[in-house]
Structure 1
């Protein structure tokens, strides 16, 4: 039996279940150069379909994991700081929080009111692309960026092309 660790939906880390322990998480965070590991953990879907945190001090097969040929674990934020500006030291930690919160909002796992979703999308695009320049930001520039939850797109009865004016 083997397992895959899903990280940000596009990076897979294969590993042997016999070796999964706290040292594996340490090895993973070293790979991405993350020192603030206390905020993060490994999550899996248990036999009842609930998201559960992997206890790294227990053997994997002693936990309520599905007995499948390939197990999937997600590297996720387990705790959030109260004051991001004061408590977060590394840019990589901030980036990981941003990506997870963005994913939770876009998938509607965390509700975000439409006006705030549009505002957050504008901030994300400003950070990614900078100020709008007509010669630089041609039509279709935002075509590959998922910016808003489907619920917000449906609410305003606009298709994706109407939202992506750039």
Structure 2
């Protein structure tokens, strides 16, 4: 079996693909993300993308670091979004690679909205978020019909419990 089946999409010039790289383990990278890594002209990547995943990038791909780490200098989100538009307008195949999933605390929604407003075509490639992959690797089921019927992800930064509806304020409480 070919690792990349023919059904995977072609990356068209002038497009931006927002992809999740998973929680760092190259084995959790999706086939769609691997396909994108092999076709991209430019890779705009985050700090949480694993080294082994970076080794999969095609040799002629330009690399642009756009990582954010607490307490360290990093590009502003608006500047990253503007750069994605600029690269796409140059006719490049732009891969925006984020740790985990681009739409789970990854600002992928903000970037997608910016691309939409600029008229840039884009595709979303989901990734395995650490909130799912980590517990699974540790053998911890996040749901189990005998013990737990729900999973909730809440951002720790900027979180204001008092602004949530009363029902949601009980999320972290035990019985």
TM-score (norm 2): 0.24
Q: Which has the larger radius of gyration?
A: 1
Kindly indicate whether structure 1 or structure 2 has the higher relative contact order, using CA contacts under 8 Å at least 6 residues apart. Answer: 2
Q: Considering fraction of residues, name the structure with more strand.
A: 1
The structure richer in helix per residue is: 1
